[in-house]
Amino acid sequence: MESVGGMNSFWRDRSVLVTGGTGLLGSWLVKQLIEGGSNVVCLVRDWVPQSELVRTHHIEQVTTVRGDVVDRQLIERTLGEYEVDTVFHLAAQTIVGIANRNPVSTFSTNIQGTWNLLEACRRSPKVSSIVVASSDKAYGDQEHLPYTETMPLQGRHPYDVSKSCADLIAQTYAASYDLPVAITRCGNFYGGGDLNWNRVVPGTIRSVIRGERPVVRSDGNFIRDYFYIEDGAAAYMLLGERLASDPALRGQAFNFSNENQVTVLELVDEILRKMKSSLRPEVLNQANNEIRHQFLSAERARTVLNWRPQFTLESGLDHTIAWYREYLGAPAAMAHTGRG
Q: Is 159 noted as a catalytic residue in this protein?
A: yes
Q: Which of 187, 184, 273, 192 is nearest to 222 (CA)?
A: 187
> How far does the chain reach from its first CA to its final CA, in angstroms?
44
> Reduced to 3 states, what is the DSSP secondary structure of residue 79?
helix
Which residue type, as a one-letter code, is found at position 312?
A: T
DSSP letter, residue 51 = S
DSSP letters spanning 98-121: HHHH-HHHHHIIIIIHHHHHHHHH
> Reduced to 3 states, what is the DSSP secondary structure of residue 128?
coil
Q: Which of 109, 136, 103 is nearest to 43 (CA)?
A: 109
State yes or no: cis peptide before 146, omega within 30 of 0: yes
Q: CA 106 to CA 270: how far, in whole Å?
A: 32
DSSP letter, residue 189 = E
Instruction: Say if residues 229 and 90 touch (Cβ distance below 8 Å).
Output: no
Distances (CA, A) of 146 to 157, 200, 224: 20, 22, 11
- In the sheet where 181-186 sits, what is the strand order? 63-66, 39-44, 15-19, 86-89, 129-133, 181-186, 253-256
Among candidate residues 82, 139, 147, 159, the one labeled active-site is 159
Catalytic residue positions, numbered: 159
